[in-house]
Amino acid sequence: MSGLTAPKGTFDVLPPESARFLAVRETLTAPLRRAGYGYVETPVFEHTEVFSRGVGESTDVVTKEMYTFDDRGGRSLTLRPELTAGLVRAFIEHRLHTGPLPVKLWTVGSAFRYERPQAGRYRHFTQVDMEALGVDDPALDAEVVALGVQGFRDLGLTDFELLLTSLGDATDRPPYREKLVEYLEKLDLDEETRRRAEINPLRVLDDKRPEVQAQLDDAPLMVDHLSDATRAHYDAVRQHLTDLGVTWTEAPRLVRGLDYYTKTTFEFVHSGLGAQSAIGGGGRYDGLSAALGGPDVSGIGYAVGVDRTLLAVQAEGLDVAAAAGVRAFVVPLGAEAKRLAVRLVGQLRQAGVPADTVYGDRGLKGAMRAAERSGASHAVVVGERDLADGVGQLKDLRTGEQRAVPVGDLFEALRTAVSA
């Protein structure tokens, strides 16, 4: 194959599949808009320390997967490997914490990780991300989790599962860490894994290698070492989820791939995706703002992979209703008819009717093929003889029925027909 291609681990989303991609993205974000979350745009790259300090230096994301480079001013910049740290940086920089709390934000955009490409895992991917910042309330945790569940339900997904646990807080972690480190010291681990364990021993529980997992059967679990206050928080979250009609599976070994999580932690997995079963996840991160130099306020949020969710939709054989494309098509035959077509299509679009026409020199056969490919339900065909008679032919492309309509009435007739 000659010519340029997309870089390894990336992909293009093209019509008609892109319509389903957009439909998934819009469906996942609709519950957030209904719940009062405001849209945010942040840069696709940040100062590297936003992620090294925020995501955690022991994570694979920071140590192995970030696209980091120096700009012409010698500043170290990184393409965002996830969206939360950038949103929290914006929250701090623009002093959003001085206004009403919680601050509810959402965004959607690309993230980049240098991973080994495989089905469902790419180096460039799209996430829907949401954050609720500034309030530590179990009811808010439940709201966040339930909004993620609602997005999947609205898509018609049924084969997904919510995994839930608590990772404790700054009070619970130190004594638990001592117990876990003591346990890990007795295991047969390679040097790199031991180094990771020194920075954050929880990371070892997340190690997917069978030879590591086989040694962790009796490892102490954070959920068994929660303080009374943290356990009460977790119990309240679960009660609110029950009240919201959300079911979950307790997952005491769940460790998300980012270091900032505390307390409520969760993941959405889908049974139809094989090894890469996660379609989203998140949790509470009460120390992230302070770690980035901001106020010591709490936060909770999640990220959902649009690409992964689309794979889940396909795995369940769902016909995601894409936004309506072209509904009206005008086929002109001849220069005078082309002027009419351009004018008519412009009027339809201004009136909110998705409309198109044929461009280039095509005969009737080729033009009608273009009309059918457009997905329009109705077309107007105007030839020189039609213009001489002062009419256009309104055709129902679904049934083949056709009738003559006076030129002055074409706009209203076509708008009415596609709206029926």
Residue 271 DSSP SS3: coil
C-alpha distances in Å from residue 205, one per residue of 66, 190, 217, 218, 350: 22, 14, 10, 11, 58
**What are the b/e assignments for 177-186, b being 16+ CB within 10 Å?**
bebbeebbee
- How is 358-406 classified by DSSP, letter by letter? --SS--HHHHHHHHHHTT-SEEEEE-HHHHHHTEEEEEETTT--EEEEE
* Bridge partners, 161 (sequence order): 269
Give binding residues as ranges: 82-84, 113, 127, 131, 256, 260-261
Helix (H) or strand (E) holding 175: helix 173-184
Two tokens at 182?
């003591």
Give binding residues for L-histidine as ranges: 82-84, 113, 127, 131, 256, 260-261
Residue pair 394/407 in contact (Cβ under 8 Å)? The answer is no
Residue pair 291/317 in contact (Cβ under 8 Å)? The answer is no
Rounded to whole angstroms, the Cα distance separating 250 from 234 reads 12
Rounded to whole angstroms, the Cα distance separating 347 from 357 reads 12
Residue pair 133/91 in contact (Cβ under 8 Å)? The answer is yes
**What are the b/e assignments for 380-417, b being 16+ CB within 10 Å?**
bbbbeebbeeebbbbbebeeeeeeebebeebbebbbeb
**What residue has token string 């439940």?**
142
Residue 141 DSSP SS3: helix
